[in-house]
Amino acid sequence: MTATKATVPLKNRRLAALLAWLVPGLGHFYQGRTGKGVLYAVCILGLYFVGMVLGDWQVVLWRWINPLRDAENFRFSYLCQFFVGLPALLALIQETLHYYDIPPILGGFMSVPLNLEQQDAFNSLSSKLAKLPEIGSVYTMMAGLLNILAIYDALEGPAQAEEDQCANGGGAVADLKAEKLDEGKS
């Protein structure tokens, strides 16, 4: 095991990664890396919810359609937004319910427009809010992409932890080596 993995408490790293996907920052809270958990939660969830507000809560949607047959209606943006975890998962649930002709839950929140009236309201969003839905999409997509970095951090630890340790005098690494030497002697 490298010094990076040994000096950063990763606990059960796969569980941490799963938690980090479900709720940004949760995996780091589980690992006891509270400060980083707060930073990830504030930055990623902040971006996601500000993006949702900018897009009038209609920028995170999913459709079960084949992108090769209907690329225009395929929601490429959701492929990024999916990585925000639970906050974006409702769109997938709503569309799956719609796919099996089951009525939507939570009053159809985060479901694709089902009737003509909803479709018109959805189409008029861009003209009503100018560039805001576009910016909202970018914010929510970036939130998802940034959470991939956070998930990887929960899984593997920080990329340059060893350099950090060296810059700090290598204390923790030296302690670890000393512990291993002691174990070897005894």
Contact of 158 with 8, CB cutoff 8 Å: yes
**Among the listed residues 59, 139, 144, 173, the single contact to other proteins using CB under 8 A:** 139
**Among the listed residues 3, 17, 20, 44, the single contact to other proteins using CB under 8 A:** 44
| Closest separation in Å from C-beta 48 to other proteins | 10
| Closest separation in Å from C-beta 100 to other proteins | 35
Q: For every residue of 73-124, which 3-state class applies, written as one string? A: CCCHHHHHHHHHCHHHHHHHHHHHHHHCCCCCCHHHCCCCCCCHHHHHHHHC
Output 15 or 145, the one with its CB closest to other proteins.
145
Among positions 2-21, residues that touch other proteins (CB under 8 A) are: 7-8
Contact of 64 with 95, CB cutoff 8 Å: yes
Separation of first and last alpha carbons in the chain: 21
Binding site for other proteins (CB under 8 A): 7-8, 33, 35-36, 39-40, 43-44, 46-47, 50, 53-54, 56, 128-132, 135, 138-139, 142, 146, 149-150, 152-153, 157-161, 164, 167-168
